[in-house]
Amino acid sequence: MPPTVKAALAATLLAGAAALSPQAQAATPRDALVMAWNLDALITFDPAQIAEVNGNDIIRNVCEPLVNYDLKDVSKMVPGTAESWTTSEDGMTITFKLRDNLKFPNGRTATAQDAVWSMHRVVGLGYGNSANFTQWGFTRDKIEQQITAADDRTIVVKMDRPYPVGLMLSAMFASGSTGIMDSEIGKKEAKTVDGRYDWANPFFKTNPVCVGHYRVTRWNTNEVVILERNENYYGEKAKLRRVIIRHVPESAAQRLLLEKGDIDVARLLNTDDLRALSKNKDVEVTATTIHGFSYLAFNAQDPIFSNPKVRQAFRWMIDYQGLGSTVLEYQGTPRASLVPIGAFGALDEKEGQPFKLDLEKAKALLAEAGFPNGFTKKFIHSANSISPQIAQHVQANAAKIGVNLQLEQMADAQLFTRARAREFEVLLIGWGAGYPDADSMISRHAVNPDNRPEARLAQYPSWRSSWQDTKINEMADAARMERDTTKRIAMYHEIQKYMMDNGPMAYIYQTVRPIAVRKEIKGFAMTPFDVDYATAGK
């Protein structure tokens, strides 16, 4: 028999045997939480660098901030690695007292010096997360004087203005950027490359040594992330020894894996798969409304979109109710105001969503603006999740009143590039607020400190839209510094109403984070800002 025929026989035999072989036990390991997710965007575990949702979700289980959001109510702050804090009488200094039994996974004791070094490094590296500090007046030049360690357990933070402490705690000290890294390892691994100190970023990228419930033990890009329990954790240790996060970028595949019990948790599911799973008795679907938005941004440089009436017309072209009961099920809650429900100072659900589908009204607004016959514009959006459906929905409604939108879908990376460079006419994009206070959204989406192109303030969506309103800038600053809670709320309400009429964005929905979990998993806790892996048990 010639060799090829033999090979053919062998291959056929193998194939048959594989098909008949017993399948894997449809159960996940007893001491592990197995989660399927899309890990495409994950490029680092350095808490100073992480800029995307999924990485942030993971790192908050690896790197604990100085203070935590209460798992039941995010407007309340509870101790994290700091057991207490005090504010000076002039309101300019906050002093944190660290717990006395903080240990890194490697057994070394974590001190205030480690904590201070870690915060300096966030600002020193200057990635997007440094804004957690710089927006409160901390700067690269002065940070070493502004945040200091008085002794092994005391951190002293000096501010340049008396910001309300509650705001500071939730905005700055509960952010992942205040996690305590091992400065001994950090200083050893750090190098100076091309005259720049790298703060051990290349080392911590894959191996963040940090105080938290878990530590990262394996990360195969676009394949799997494995976390092991930190046996030296100061408090109650995580219930499960390992967390295995597997890259499964398809909703349908995640659903199958979950139904078969190959995974415990599915994090990337579309509406229809979620609807099907919610009927499955082995699975529980939880939808948490989080502090993020999906919105249309208009470029005010464009002669047509510079007209607020045109932008207003778009708000009447969105079928908020129709979307809400179909496409947005498990994905979002229709909302037109820029402050998310659940944040301090938000308009209530009704006031924050006064629009409905009304093409007559939209057409009238366009006519008032001088475009009774419509116009043609390019509309770019992400290819991910439900963005294509939302975009096509808006496109179809707009077409009915003569507005011709030419859609182009692209990868997120490309969409961000275009948005940041102001290279768009209309785009559909998302944004996550950093903390549960109206200030979080308003300070970026409404405030624009400098609208000149050369200012390149691309971290401000308002700048990306080339939109600036000095009155709003002043109002937002006044509201931020206001210590009277009632007054502060009133000021935020006013800003939100103004933005709904004049702003450069049409907010479509507040993001919902759907998670489908098998019933074997007990006690899994989550908030809009945290998914707490350590609480999950079997």
d(CA 58, CA 245): 9
- Count of residues of this chain found to bind other proteins when the rule CB under 8 A is applied: 100
Structure tokens at 427: 């785009």
Q: Compare residues 19 and 350 and give the one whose CB is closer to other proteins.
A: 19
Of residues 434-493, those binding other proteins (CB under 8 A):
455-459
CB of 420 to other proteins, least distance (A): 6
Residue 520 binds to other proteins (criterion: CB under 8 A): no
Of residues 322-341, those binding other proteins (CB under 8 A):
322-323, 326-327
CB of 497 to other proteins, least distance (A): 26
CB of 119 to other proteins, least distance (A): 17
Of residues 385-414, those binding other proteins (CB under 8 A):
388-389, 391-393, 395-396, 399, 406-411, 413-414
CB of 88 to other proteins, least distance (A): 29
Q: How buried is residue 347: exposed, middle or buried, by Cβ count under 10 Å (0-12/13-18/19+)?
A: buried
Dihedral, 516, 518, 520, 523 alpha carbons, nearest 10:
0
Of residues 229-258, those binding other proteins (CB under 8 A):
244, 246-253, 255-257
CB of 186 to other proteins, least distance (A): 18
Q: What residues contact 107, with CB distance under 8 A and at least 6 apart? A: 232
Backbone φ and ψ of 215, nearest 5°: -130, 150
Q: Compare residues 75 and 417 and give the one whose CB is closer to other proteins.
A: 417
Structure tokens at 169: 């705690």
Q: Residue type for 424, please?
A: F
Task: Select the residue interacting with other proteins from 78, 150, 421, 525 (CB under 8 A).
Answer: 421
134-140 contacts: CB < 8 A, separation 24 or more? 135/443, 136/163, 136/168, 136/171, 136/172, 137/161
Helix %, strand %, coil % of the chain (to 5): 35, 25, 40
CB of 393 to other proteins, least distance (A): 7
Residue 139 binds to other proteins (criterion: CB under 8 A): no
Binding track over 16-35 against other proteins, x by CB under 8 A: -xxx-xxxxx-xxx----x-
Q: Compare residues 28 and 496 and give the one whose CB is closer to other proteins.
A: 28
Q: Compare residues 4 and 486 and give the one whose CB is closer to other proteins.
A: 4
The kind and range of the H/E element at 501 are helix 485-502
Q: Compare residues 211 and 225 and give the one whose CB is closer to other proteins.
A: 225
| Chain-centre distance for alpha carbon 124 | 22
Q: Give yes or no for a contact between 179 and 58, defined as CB atoms under 8 angstroms apart.
A: no
DSSP states of 161-182: S---HHHHIIIIITSGGG--B-
d(CA 139, CA 459): 17
CB of 530 to other proteins, least distance (A): 20
Of residues 51-90, those binding other proteins (CB under 8 A):
51-52
Q: Give yes or no for a contact between 178 and 117, defined as CB atoms under 8 angstroms apart.
A: no
Residue 192 binds to other proteins (criterion: CB under 8 A): no
Residue 525 binds to other proteins (criterion: CB under 8 A): no
Q: Residue type for 155, please?
A: I
Q: Give yes or no for a contact between 512 and 330, defined as CB atoms under 8 angstroms apart.
A: yes
Task: Select the residue interacting with other proteins from 8, 78, 481, 525 (CB under 8 A).
Answer: 8
Residue 309 binds to other proteins (criterion: CB under 8 A): no
Of residues 364-383, those binding other proteins (CB under 8 A):
383
Residue 92 binds to other proteins (criterion: CB under 8 A): no
Stretch that binds other proteins, among 44-52, 89-97, 230-238, 304-312 (CB under 8 A): 44-52
Taking the CB of residue 192, how many other CB atoms lie within 10 A of it?
A: 8
Task: Select the residue interacting with other proteins from 161, 188, 196, 522 (CB under 8 A).
Answer: 196
